[in-house]
């Protein structure tokens, strides 16, 4: 079974368990902490992926790192996954947990890339439009890419709206090239 499917199933199981134990928000916080910690540590990434490192050693490393910082449900879950020799899917499982949590809570992440920094009013307008379309709570991640020349690119899920000047110039370039060839 692919790592993505396994991670997705583990994440769903953890969400169900956390809801059952009224600990969904705590476990969500734990999964965010886990993702942030693993992203920041290439050593921890290597430990989780390395099949040569004994299961007991992996468990003790995670207890040392997360110990009293995480909910008992999270600790038990991490131990079970490692005991099943599936430590390499923990990072993917934590990310998938956060995705499934956002779906459950109807939270949408929108990414806007613009040529210059957006004003608070522009950000509020984008959030309002995305909320109008999706009906969910919107989290906006704004980045700057000066190569866009002007305008912006908005990505929500697998949909993208490109209102950048560089994109329009590229389209004009393609149109001219097709007319010259034809």
Measured CA distances, 29 to 18, 24, 57, 112 (Å): 12, 9, 25, 25
* Distant-in-sequence, close-in-space partners of 27: CB < 8 Å, separation ≥ 6: 14, 15, 18, 71, 73, 74, 97
Rounded distance, CA 134 to CA 32, Å?
A: 24
**What pLDDT is stored for residue 1 in this prediction?**
65
Rounded to two decimals, what is the model's pTM?
0.81
**What pLDDT is stored for residue 182 in this prediction?**
57
**What pLDDT is stored for residue 82 in this prediction?**
96
pLDDT along the chain (182 residues), means of 10: 90 97 97 97 96 96 94 97 96 97 95 94 94 93 92 91 88 83 62
**What pLDDT is stored for residue 153 in this prediction?**
94
């Amino acid at each position: 079974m692919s790592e993505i499917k396994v991670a997705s199933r583990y994440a769903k199981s953890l969400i169900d368990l956390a809801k059952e134990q009224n600990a969904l928000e705590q476990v969500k916080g734990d999964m965010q902490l886990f993702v942030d910690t693993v992203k920041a540590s290439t050593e921890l990434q290597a430990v989780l992926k390395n099949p040569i490192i004994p299961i007991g050693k992996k468990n003790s490393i995670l207890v040392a790192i997360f110990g009293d910082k995480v909910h008992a449900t999270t600790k038990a879950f991490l131990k079970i996954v490692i005991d099943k020799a599936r430590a390499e899917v923990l990072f993917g499982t934590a990310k998938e947990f956060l995705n499934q949590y956002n779906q459950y809570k109807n939270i949408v992440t929108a990414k806007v890339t613009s040529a210059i920094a957006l004003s608070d009013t522009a950000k509020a307008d984008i959030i309002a439009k995305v909320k109008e379309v999706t009906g969910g709570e919107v989290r906006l991640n704004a980045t700057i890419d000066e190569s866009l020349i002007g305008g912006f690119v908005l990505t929500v899920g697998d949909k993208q709206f490109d209102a950048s000047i560089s994109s329009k110039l590229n389209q004009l370039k393609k149109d001219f090239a097709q007319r010259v060839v034809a």
